[in-house]
Chain A
Amino acid sequence: MLPKLFFGYYAVVILFLSMLVVTRKNPVHSVMWMLLLFFHIAGLYLFLNAEFIAAIQVIVYAGAILVLFLFVVLLLNLKEELKIDRFIGSWPAAFVIASATFVLVSIALKSMVLGPPGKYTVDFIKQETHTKALGQLLYTEFLFPFEIASLILLVAVIGAIVLAKRKLRS
């Protein structure tokens, strides 16, 4: 009973906050609601025994990405932003598409059959600790993708500087 209650709280709050993020007129409010949303998602990860994922959710998403968003939002002309319509004219069509896709996914979920469980049981992770288990997998089986991830970050760093720079010397 208690786990379901917990999940219910998180589900309701996450849904409500994501609606707020999408519908608020003031982008600064959107960013603030999104901060709260990310903390709740991190709570859900903790609930699923993924403490390292919860930590990077808070550190990377809430700590880095949202601060970046906030900086860019502050460039906006908020006075003009509050005057105009927030949605495009044909938003009911998008609403129909989104709800129809949701119904489709819910129907498809009914026929889902899970595969056989692996070796990372809750007790195993508890004994090994989550970060250690994840790190061991990441540095052995997924070493090459891990290196590619570092390359992606390097490209992002250089690309962001090149794009945001005022003018490159020819």
Chain B
Amino acid sequence: MVPLNWYLTLSAAVFMIGMFGFLTRKNIIIMFMSVELMLNAVNISLVSFSHYLQDMRGHILVFFIVTVAAAEAAIGLAIIIALFRNKQTAHVNEMDEMKG
């Protein structure tokens, strides 16, 4: 049987890759995809906890996370479309109107 720690380490590694992507990429769509990557990393750890603790609550939480991720994708991409219409760019380093 695969130890639980392996799953959690995999989940942490995927989460950190997602975090790195979110912090460093210029393209706002890739940043958004990095957020999805982090949500998936958390889902991996929740499902593995659920399996090893023999409890279904982790699966319920994953269900809600997927719901929120779908809602977030719809809203976020609508915001990106609205952004395109006004700025014609997808690069976050060019969006500096709020800077004094």
Q: Which residues of A contact B (CB under 8 A)?
A: 3-4, 7, 11, 14-15, 18-19, 21-23, 27, 30-31, 34, 37-38, 41, 44-45, 48-50, 52-53, 56-57, 60-61, 64-65, 68-69, 71-73, 75-76, 81, 84-88, 91, 94-95, 97-99, 101-102, 105-106, 109, 112, 114-115, 117-122, 130, 133-134, 137-138, 142, 145, 149, 152-153, 155-157, 159-161, 163-164, 166
Question: Judging by beta carbons under 8 Å apart, are A163 and B82 in contact?
Answer: yes
A-B contact pairs, 22 of them (CB 8 A): A14-B14, A18-B18, A21-B34, A21-B37, A27-B30, A34-B33, A34-B36, A50-B47, A50-B50, A50-B51, A52-B59, A76-B27, A85-B26, A86-B30, A87-B25, A88-B24, A115-B53, A117-B55, A134-B63, A149-B64, A159-B74, A160-B75
Nearest CB in chain A: distance from B33 CB, A: 6
Q: Which residues does chain A contribute within 8 Å of B81, judged by CB atoms?
A: 72, 75, 163-164
Q: Which residues does chain A contribute within 8 Å of B63, judged by CB atoms?
A: 53, 56, 134, 138, 149
* A156, B29: Cα distance in complex, Å: 18
Question: Judging by beta carbons under 8 Å apart, are A41 and B44 in contact?
Answer: yes
* A56, B83: Cα distance in complex, Å: 30
Given contacts A27-B30, A120-B55, contact A22 B74 (CB under 8 A): no
Q: Which residues does chain B contribute within 8 Å of A145, judged by CB atoms?
A: 60, 64
Q: Which residues of B contact A (CB under 8 A)?
A: 1-2, 4-10, 12-14, 16-21, 23-27, 29-30, 32-34, 36-37, 40, 43-44, 47-48, 50-57, 59-60, 62-64, 66-75, 77-82, 84-85, 90-91, 93
Question: Judging by beta carbons under 8 Å apart, are A164 and B36 in contact?
Answer: no
Question: Judging by beta carbons under 8 Å apart, are B71 and A76 in contact?
Answer: no
Q: Which residues does chain B contribute within 8 Å of A159, judged by CB atoms?
A: 74-75, 78
Nearest CB in chain B: distance from A109 CB, A: 6
Question: Judging by beta carbons under 8 Å apart, are A69 and B52 in contact?
Answer: no
Nearest CB in chain B: distance from A114 CB, A: 6
